[in-house]
Amino acid sequence: MLKPSTLAMILAGSRVDELNVLTYYRPKSAVPFGGFARVIDFPLSNLLHSGIEKVAILSQYRSFSLINHIGTGAAWDMVGRNRGVSILPPFKDNSDNEGHTDWYRGTADAVYKNLDFINYHKPEEILILSGDHIYKMNYQDIISYHHQKDADMTIGFVQVEKEKAHRFGIAEIDDEDGDTGGKVMAYWEKPDKPEADWASLTVLIFKPQILFKALHENQISKSYEFGKDIIPLLMEQGKRIYGYKYRGYWGYTGTIEEYWQANMDLLGDNSPIDMEAWGLRTNMEHRGISDAQPALLYEDAKVHNSLIYNGCMVEGTVRNSVLFPGVHIGKGAVVENSVLFFSNHIGENCCLNKVISDVNSAFGQGVCVGPEIGSDAVIITVVGWNNHVPAWTQIGEGATIYPNLHTEQWPLEVKPGEVLK
């Protein structure tokens, strides 16, 4: 078997404040998605179908959930000679440099601290990916374009609405290769007034020596980020930087609303996300998904436009929702426009609308969460894991409930937008 020419490194260790309690105990990349998977399953599955089998995952924040999910990498066929998944957490070395820290100080610093790992594998190109985007891409296409242009660096971009462009790294790309891509003429990291609308996918390909040199030079920086530091540095040096134009679905999960919307995009007859057609893989042993009994719908159950997975029991009504394995919907309960993680228990006559509820939470009889059923409000209520909501509690729209609250901490009413800790 030939030694792989591409080394992929997935940036998967961060927590995103905008996802609040969903990342309280796990990194963003390990957040459950779509009824059975995790967000990181998308880049991992893309790598599998692209034939890239040497992968490193850079993890830092509360890594247990991620490590437990990745396991040996067998779910993505990444076990064997010259292939595999390596999880690279921060480490302590023998450096005595002033100001040295053992923690990854940013995305670029995470890669810099693992240059020995890269040098050991001697790749022809280094593919750096974000672990928290929802999309399907054959990375061989962008790698081929990178070689075709003899680029020092190639970046994957997707076109976004101008009013949202300020949240991303934005590039101006010329029309050298039409719809395929072109040379990056200018780049701005999260500009206040965007002058273009091509947003970085955080799909970055480097010639190894170009990356090594830039990472060494970046050590005088204070932010250690690819978007804020490395890309502008290479632009200033006049390196050959090309943009590859991606045209498919891209789900960005940087906020609660975006995460909720990406889940809602799974529903309907014309869903832009087809996890089966995309060949999405996940670790079916994590949380015992493969051992769950078939979903059980009782005689009075009503289900419309929803995803309901193994281990679920539905006695009430579910509309426009995603239910992970082990969810139980009690008699007379109505769940609408919601995402319920593993092993939630919804009591009799509850009403949940536009709710995201983390794992192992239980809602007592008559609990109402979110706006009234049928409301057009789009503010999402989030309930952290391992909560037991007392019967008849009212939780207003946009409220945030932190994990593991004790019974005595619960009021009879949580007001709209309130944060309960």
pLDDT of 19 reads 83
Q: How many CB atoms lie within 10 A of CB 174?
A: 12
Rounded Cα distance, 54 and 139, in Å:
13
Alpha helix positions (H), 275-406: none
Rounded Cα distance, 147 and 124, in Å:
10
pLDDT of 1 reads 43
- Domain limits, CATH 2.160.10.10, in the chain: 292-420
Backbone angles phi, psi at 211, to 5 degrees: -65, -45
CATH superfamily, with its number, for domain 292-420? Hexapeptide repeat proteins (2.160.10.10)
Contact 133, 202 (CB under 8 A): yes
Rounded Cα distance, 241 and 173, in Å:
10
- Domain limits, CATH 3.90.550.10, in the chain: 6-264
Rounded Cα distance, 132 and 30, in Å:
8
Q: What tens digit of pLDDT does each residue of 148-199 get?
A: 999 999 999 999 998 889 999 999 999 999 999 999 999 999 999 999 999 9
- In the DSSP assignment, the letter for residue 226 is I
For the chain, list residues with pLDDT below 50: 1
Give one DSSP letter per residue of 145-209, joined into a string: HHHHTT-SEEEEEEE--GGGGGGSEEEEE-STTTTSEEEEEEEEES-SS-S--EEEEEEEEE-HH
Give one DSSP letter per residue of 243-306, joined into a string: EEEE-S-EEE-SSHHHHHHHHHTT-STT-S--TTTTT----TTGGGGGGPPPPEE-TT-EEES-
Q: Which structure tokens are listed for 412?
A: 């009879």
Q: What tens digit of pLDDT does each residue of 207-246 get?
A: 999 999 999 998 877 778 899 999 999 999 999 999 999 9
Which residue bears the tokens 């971009």?
A: 157
What are the distances in angstroms from CA 317 to CA 320, 346, 362? 10, 11, 17
CATH of 6-264 among 3.90.550.10, 3.40.50.1110, 3.40.50.1400, 3.10.20.30? 3.90.550.10
pLDDT of 80 reads 84
